[in-house]
């Protein structure tokens, strides 16, 4: 048995060879499956990538079926500091399972965290992660910089606030979050009373904004984008680096994603 340190500084016991993983975060599920197909034996109902994932479903990120996770007898459970609730993770630990928690708040930190997590699973750094690092290192932020509001829900209206991965992604692209100084990570907003901004970024998750549902509420121009490119970390980082600049009107479309 080897002991590794997760992003929260906890010692996590893992066997010399990890054969069974339960992932409680869609991005982490995709990262492991893209690196070692078949290693994930349990995943949340929200784990939609890869499309052919054959893992048992264990409910959601906020309400995992602890009993079902335990019954799957994983060598390692993968979780995230923001996505998963401490009481659920404590219950899994009390049941004797090894739980590895990631803490991902920006692009570079996310890439480093994913490398450590995959190493904890006994996996070498994959080609997709090296490609993501190279692509993001090569990105030149937009000049002049833009200033955006990023709604994530309506009824009530909510948006991206402070200390989020989404805000960090946009910052790397040259877009400042107009609500970055909010005391909340996802504050409620009034579309008619927002700080100065020249762009509204409307993702298709968690709320599915469309051309007919969202842009009409704002005076500034809107950009409809894939929420996966803004909020997921894993192989989606490659797609995000290739596609987001053009989707946000910052650059001409680059080479297609592979």
Q: For the residues of 186-229, what is the DSSP string, one character each?
A: S-B--TTS--S-SEEEEESSSS--BTTBSGGG-SS-EEEE-HHH
Closest CA to 76 of 101, 113, 112, 55: 101
Give me the pLDDT at residue 244, please: 97
H/E element holding 99? strand 99-102
If one counts every other C-beta atom within 10 angstroms of the C-beta of residue 63, the result is 12
Give me the pLDDT at residue 256, please: 43
Give me the pLDDT at residue 122, please: 97
Q: Kindly state the tokens that stand for 256.
A: 């297609």
Closest CA to 216 of 227, 205, 196, 202: 202
- The tens digit of pLDDT for each residue in 6-43 reads 999 999 999 999 999 999 999 999 999 999 999 999 99
180 — phi, psi (to 5°)?
-65, -25
* Verdict on whether the full-model pTM lies above 0.85: yes
Give me the pLDDT at residue 254, please: 43
174 contacts 143 by C-beta, under 8 angstroms: yes
Three-state secondary-structure class, residue 11: strand
In degrees, rounded to 5, the angle at the alpha carbon of residue 108 between the alpha carbons of residues 90 and 38 is 55
Give me the pLDDT at residue 140, please: 94
- The stretches in the chain having pLDDT less than 70 are 251-258
Give me the pLDDT at residue 251, please: 65
What whole-number distance in Å separates Cα of residue 95 and Cα of residue 145?
50
If one counts every other C-beta atom within 10 angstroms of the C-beta of residue 122, the result is 17
What whole-number distance in Å separates Cα of residue 27 and Cα of residue 181?
27
All domains in the chain, ordered by first residue:
2-125 (3.40.50.1980), 140-247 (3.40.50.1980)
Sheet with strand 199-203: strands edge to edge: 175-177, 146-149, 199-203, 222-225
H/E element holding 177? strand 175-177
């Amino acid at each position: 048995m080897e002991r590794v340190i997760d992003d929260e500084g906890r010692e996590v016991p893992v066997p010399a060879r990890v054969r069974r993983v339960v992932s409680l975060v869609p991005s982490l599920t995709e990262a492991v499956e893209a690196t070692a197909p078949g290693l994930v034996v349990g995943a949340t109902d929200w784990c939609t990538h890869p499309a052919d994932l054959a893992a048992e479903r264990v409910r959601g990120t906020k309400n995992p079926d602890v009993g079902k996770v335990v019954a799957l007898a994983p060598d390692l459970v993968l979780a995230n500091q923001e996505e998963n609730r401490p009481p659920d993770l404590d219950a899994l630990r009390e049941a004797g399972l090894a739980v590895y928690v990631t803490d991902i708040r920006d692009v570079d930190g996310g890439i480093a965290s994913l490398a450590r997590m995959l190493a904890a699973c006994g996996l070498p750094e994959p080609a997709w992660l090296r490609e993501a690092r190279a692509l993001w290192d090569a990105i030149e932020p937009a000049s002049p910089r833009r200033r955006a509001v990023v709604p994530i829900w309506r009824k009530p209206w909510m948006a991206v606030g402070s200390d989020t991965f989404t805000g960090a992604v946009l910052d790397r692209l040259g877009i400042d979050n107009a609500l970055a100084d909010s005391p909340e990570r996802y504050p409620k907003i009034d579309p008619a009373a927002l700080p100065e901004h020249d762009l509204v970024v409307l993702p298709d998750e968690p709320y599915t904004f469309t051309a007919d549902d969202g842009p009409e509420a704002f005076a500034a121009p809107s950009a409809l984008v894939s929420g996966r490119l803004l909020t997921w970390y894993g192989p989606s980082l490659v797609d995000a680096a290739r596609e987001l600049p053009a989707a946000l009107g910052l650059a001409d479309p680059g080479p297609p994603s592979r």
